[in-house]
Amino acid sequence: MIRHSSSLFTNPYAIQVLRTKKEELVQGINDPEQLLHWLVENGIFTPEKKLVLSFYRTRTAKNSRVLDILISQGERACRLFFYPCLKQVEPKLYSKIRKYVSEVNESIGDARRQLVGYLLEKDKVWFENSSEQHQGNKDRPGGKKHKGALKKKGKETPLSRATKPRKDPAAVDIFAAVAKGSLPELEKTMKDNDLNVLNPSSETLLHVAAARGHLSIVAHLLSKGARTGVKDRRGRTALHRAAQKGHGGAVRLLLRAGASMHALDVEGKTALHWAAENHHSHIVSMLLKEEARSCRNQHTFLHMAALRDESSLAKMLLEAGASTEGKDERGQTALSYAVSQGYENTAKVLLEAGATVDSNTVERAFNSNHPSIFKVLLEYSKDLSADIKELALFRAVQKNLHSVVAALIDRGTDVNAHNKKHYTPLLLACEMGKAESAEVLVEKGAKLGIRTPAADTALHLAAQAGAAAIAAVLLSRGMDTNARNQAEQTPLHVAALRNRGALVGLLLSAGARVNAATKDSATPLHIASHRGHADAARQLLLHKAPVNAQDKQAKSPLHLAAEQGHRTLAEMLLKARADPNAQDKEKKTPLHAAALRGHLSIVELLLAKKGRAGAKDMDGCTPLHYATVKGNADILKLLLAAGKNKNINDRNVWRKTALHIAAEYGHGELINVLLSHGAAINALDSSRDTALHCACRAGHLSAVSALLSWAQGEKANVLAENSLRKTPLQVAECSKTENQAQILTLLRKKMLIAK
């Protein structure tokens, strides 16, 4: 027996590296199939595991699952993954990982924790004693290179290493006795340790007896404990050999002894494959019955045939009694696997045998990369329910498989069916912009008047998707261009909202009203201006959209463009003679809106187009007040220059100047700008507060400091009393703010109270 020295395999770092670099490995492995081949060749994965992994369709999903399995199998599997498998399949990625590991080694600097030897070097095989090791090296060709045994495709897998071929005369006599079928001779020559001996072809005695159908010898070997899972050089078990030769009795004995029906040889074939290829139908039936008895809710031969597109095998299995409705541990039928992979021939065989097409199968058909597979379902399925056909119709529309859409309708599917969202296929096609499917649906009689729960028509949805081709078809069929949804929007509003310039032009040419208004009195131009949609706005203006129309708040499109800072839109609107001084319900002009939002370029544009810097809203605030609130010095300077400083001391309804507001909001820099342009430092508001009172109340140290340090012209009056007869100092004493102590110190120094 060969064993591994336990001391060599306690190092955890291969797993740690794999986990740390998992994301990089998932993305970097470009050929999962080749990697899986090497993992199987080197005994890390079984062929069965490789077959199961074929269920994962994308490269990254398959890579991720492979790495998860390796991690779960432990340190040794992870090490062998890196060397030799990854080295062979992805040498650049292998080198990158090796470099990373080497850098970790260098940083660790501890020989006991070195990673390279454990992670990236060849696996070592250890014998129980050195003499056996020495003899093994001498007897084996190339024995000195035994460390690289794993590199040679599958020659040292765990199963094939179980026992070494025997070359002594006694072993030859044993195999000769089995080949002749002589049980007495076998009993006379066989010793206890010869039970699982291998011949030069890596066959056991059980392999030879099963291949020749010697039942008495098979029974004798099994009674002595012969292992049924040992594989020869071709990866075949004794059950493979018995099935291949058609020896039903041997197959029966092996199955009773627990032989695996689903074991795969190096060609990926089971015992059933060999029985089927050699037309041993009685063996096929026997294996199927055993599978039905012992493997419920598991992966079956029929599933396997479907996954491998073995249509002729599937047909044979079905003729032998395999059920089309059997589900594996994933809840999948053979048909669902064939459909997922796009295997049309196998799907046809299963459907002709009566396989049921359910919603899961339909989903798999449309999610596969083989659109034509659904046509197979449609043509060969014996009976598709109305629900399934309706589900398929919606999925065909989503995938824009217009030929499938037509075929379904021709087979009686309701063209005006509703899905869970209460959409018809036509509404769905319009929303998704599936022009070919929409055209087919219209030709097949889809009703144009059906609406969504939000009262959108097909034309609304086409406008939303920017589907000009669909809109043209709908308009050619006489669809109303001015139909309104729940928000009183027309398709033109929707096109403006989505900036569908081509559709805007198409709708207007077809009679859409350019000045149609929503519940909020918004025209399509309002919507385009608010969103900054220049393409849509350009088309609307070309068709004479009312540029100064007012919405529910009396805002013009220019107000909305100014609020949002859309300079291109503002330029377009002004060029179309939009009024730069239009007032909304609060008497704000576009200049107020731009100043409040801090849009410098819009302020520049509006002032250049004669926007009034001194215009007052219903609160008496000028754009200067709002620029001060925002704290934008550049806009402030622009407005002051435009008004030649005439409006610097304008007061709002609370008699506050821009200086009061700068003090209240703590904009020390703006205070200096305002004062340098002639703002009255001691102007009183309606509460007789000066700017200094306001700064002290709000606790803005920078504002207080700016006001107290102003030395050009009139100075801040520190003794001024407001309507409550309080000075700035008294106001500061009553205002518990973060900067209160510093403000009090400044004021007292100024008043010469503190020393």
Q: Are 363 and 335 in contact (CB under 8 A)?
A: no
Short-list 330, 334, 364, 332, CA closest to 349: 334
Short-list 291, 285, 209, 292, CA closest to 253: 209
| 103 band by pLDDT with thresholds 50, 70 and 90 | confident
Q: Please, what is the average pLDDT of the chain?
A: 86
Q: Are 731 and 723 in contact (CB under 8 A)?
A: no
Compute, in degrees rounded to 10, the torsion defined by CA atoms 427, 430, 433, 434: 70
pLDDT for residue 740? 92
Q: Is 3 helix (H, G, I), strand (E, B) or coil?
A: strand
Q: Are 590 and 582 in contact (CB under 8 A)?
A: yes
Whether the pLDDT of residue 214 is over 70: the answer is yes
Phi, psi of 356 (to 5 degrees): -80, 135
Short-list 561, 647, 572, 645, CA closest to 603: 561
Handedness of CA 488, 492, 496, 497 (dihedral sign): positive
Cα–Cα distance for residue pair 138/59, rounded to 1 Å: 44
Short-list 231, 292, 280, 226, CA closest to 251: 280
DSSP string, 44-68: SS-HHHHHHHTT--SHHHHHHHHHH
Cα–Cα distance for residue pair 672/576, rounded to 1 Å: 40
Cα–Cα distance for residue pair 272/262, rounded to 1 Å: 8
pLDDT for residue 269? 86
Take residue 731 and report the two structure tokens written for it. Answer: 């106001």
Q: Are 59 and 27 in contact (CB under 8 A)?
A: no
More confident residue, 166 or 172: 172
State the pTM of this model: 0.64
Take residue 223 and report the two structure tokens written for it. Answer: 């009674």
| 38 band by pLDDT with thresholds 50, 70 and 90 | confident
Number of residues written out for the chain: 755
**Full 3-state SS string of 645-657:** CCCCCCCCCCCCC
DSSP string, 515-531: T---TT---HHHHHHHH
Whether the pLDDT of residue 212 is over 90: the answer is yes
* Count of helix runs (H) and strand runs (E) in the chain: 46, 2
Cα–Cα distance for residue pair 714/360, rounded to 1 Å: 84
Question: Phi-psi region for residue 354, left (φ > 0), alpha (ψ -120 to 50) or beta?
Answer: left
How many C-beta atoms lie closer than 10 Å to residue 543's C-beta?
17
How many C-beta atoms lie closer than 10 Å to residue 568's C-beta?
13
More confident residue, 632 or 98: 632
Phi, psi of 127 (to 5 degrees): -100, 165
pLDDT for residue 137? 38
| 720 band by pLDDT with thresholds 50, 70 and 90 | very high
Cα–Cα distance for residue pair 216/209, rounded to 1 Å: 9
Short-list 88, 97, 76, 93, CA closest to 11: 76
Question: To the nearest whole percent, how much of the chain has pLDDT over 70?
Answer: 88
| 130 band by pLDDT with thresholds 50, 70 and 90 | very low
Tens of pLDDT, residues 480-524:
999 999 999 999 999 999 999 999 999 999 999 999 999 999 999
Give mean pLDDT, residues 679-706: 96
More confident residue, 471 or 371: 471
pLDDT for residue 116? 46
Whether the pLDDT of residue 275 is over 70: the answer is yes
Kindly list the distances between the CA atom of residue 535 and the CA atoms of 77, 199, 671, in Å, as whole numbers in the listed order.
60, 82, 43
Radius of gyration from C-alpha coordinates of the chain = 43
Take residue 136 and report the two structure tokens written for it. Answer: 């093994």
Give mean pLDDT, residues 255-266: 88
Cα–Cα distance for residue pair 334/304, rounded to 1 Å: 8
pLDDT for residue 658? 96
Q: Are 538 and 572 in contact (CB under 8 A)?
A: yes
Tens of pLDDT, residues 410-447:
989 999 999 999 999 999 999 999 999 999 999 999 99
Beta bridge partners of 198: 165
Cα–Cα distance for residue pair 308/312, rounded to 1 Å: 11
Question: To the nearest whole percent, how much of the chain has pLDDT over 90?
Answer: 57
